[in-house]
Amino acid sequence: MLAKRIIPCLDVTAGRVVKGVSFVQLRDAGDPVEIARRYDEQGADELTFLDITASSDDRGILFRIIEQVAEQVFIPLTVGGGVRKVEDVRNLLNAGADKVSINTSAVLNPQLVADAAGRYGSQCIVVAIDAKQAAPGKWEVFTHGGRKATGLDAVAWAKHMQALGAGEILLTSMDRDGQKTGFDLALTRAVTDALEIPVIASGGAGTLQHLADGVKLGGADAVLAASIFHYGEYTVQQAKQFMAQQGIEVRL
C-alpha cells in the first residue's frame, strides 16, 4: 500500500535554515546540508527546500546547497522560492532538484505552470499555495511570502493549477504557519477532496498528533513540517512510529 509521506521542510536564507512564525520572526536552525543528511537518516520520505529570500546573491548559495545534498541524499528533493521562468525550473532540476515548487509566479503567470509541466513533466511541478481563511469554509490565496492578497479562492485556484499540469499541491495555511496549533484541517480537506493530484498539508504542525490528523482528518497525502523536527523535539522516525500506531501506512 502507498505510504503517507512525511516531508521535513527547510526554509533557507543566506545559506542557513531558518524558521519563522506566521512568515516572520526568523530563527536560525542550522546548516542545510547537515540537516538534510540527518532527516534522510531518520527516514524522511522527501525533503523540501524553500529559498525564502530568493535574492540573486543567495541563488548561487542555494544551488551549491542543492548540489551537495543531491550527492549524498537519495530521496526526492523539492526546491522552491523565486521560480519565475521555465529556465529557473531547468536550473534547479540540473542542480539536483527532483521537483520544483512554484508559488507567486504561478499567480502572476499561470502559463509558467503549463509550460514547465509541458517541458519537464507534471511529476516535477509542485504548485505551492499560501492560503488564509477569509470566511468559514473560504480561503484566499496570498503571494509574495504571504504579503499580497490575490482575491483568488484557494480551492478553485488549486483546481485550476491541476488543470494546467501541476503534479502536486503544497498547501500552507498562513493562519497556522509556525503556530504549532495543528494544520488547518478544513482547508486541507476542502482542497484534497477537490483534486485528483496529491496534496501536501503544511503550516501549523506542533505535535505528532497534528501530523496524524493532517492525514486522517485532513485527507492529506503527505504532511510537511519544520519546527518540530528542526529543534530536536521529535525525530522523523518518532513521527512515523506514532502515525503507524494510529493505523496510518508509513515507510518505516
Partner 1 sequence: MDIAVVDYGMGNLRSVQQALRAVAPGASIAVTGDPLVVAQAARVVFPGQGAMPDCMRELEARGLRAAVLQAARGKPFLGICIGLQMLFERSAEGNIPGLGILPGKVVRFAGDLRDVQGNKLKVPHMGWNQVRRIEQPASPQGDATITPSPSGGGLGRGNALPLPNPLPRSEGAVAASTVGGSPKVDEHPLWAGIEQDARFYFVHSYYVQPQDAALVQATSDYPQPFACAVARDNLFAVQFHPEKSQSAGLTLLRNFVNWNPV
* Residue 15 lies near partner 1 (rule: CB under 8 A): no
Nearest approach, Cβ of residue 57 and partner 1 (Å): 24
Q: CA separation (Å) from 44 to 35, 38, 41, 67? A: 11, 9, 7, 18
Site track for partner 1 across 126-165, x = CB under 8 A: ----------------------------------------
Q: Which is nearer to partner 1, 78 or 105 (CB)?
A: 78
DSSP 166-177: -SEEEEEETTTT
In this structure, are residues 47 and 230 in contact, taking their beta carbons and an 8 Å threshold? Answer: no
* Strands 16-21 vs 5-13: parallel, antiparallel or unpaired: antiparallel
- Exposed e or buried b per residue across 104-121, where buried means at least 16 C-beta atoms within 10 angstroms of its C-beta: bbbbeebebbbbbbeebe
* Main-chain dihedrals φ then ψ at residue 99, nearest 5 degrees: -135, 150
Closest to 47 measured CA to CA, from 26, 91, 17, 87:
17
* Residue 124 lies near partner 1 (rule: CB under 8 A): yes
Would residue 51 show up in a list of annotated catalytic residues for this protein?
Answer: no
* Residue 219 lies near partner 1 (rule: CB under 8 A): yes
Q: Which is nearer to partner 1, 110 or 118 (CB)?
A: 118
* Residue 96 lies near partner 1 (rule: CB under 8 A): yes
Q: Which is nearer to partner 1, 30 or 96 (CB)?
A: 96
Among 51, 130, 177, 184, the active-site one is 130
Nearest approach, Cβ of residue 141 and partner 1 (Å): 21
DSSP state, residue 232 = S
Would residue 11 show up in a list of annotated catalytic residues for this protein?
Answer: yes
Contact segment (CB under 8 A) with partner 1 among 23-31, 114-122, 139-147, 175-183 equals 114-122
Distance CA 59, CA 202 (A): 24
Residues designated as active site: 11, 130
Binding site for partner 1 (CB under 8 A): 1-5, 40, 45, 70-71, 74-76, 93-98, 120-124, 167-168, 192-193, 195-199, 219, 221-222, 251
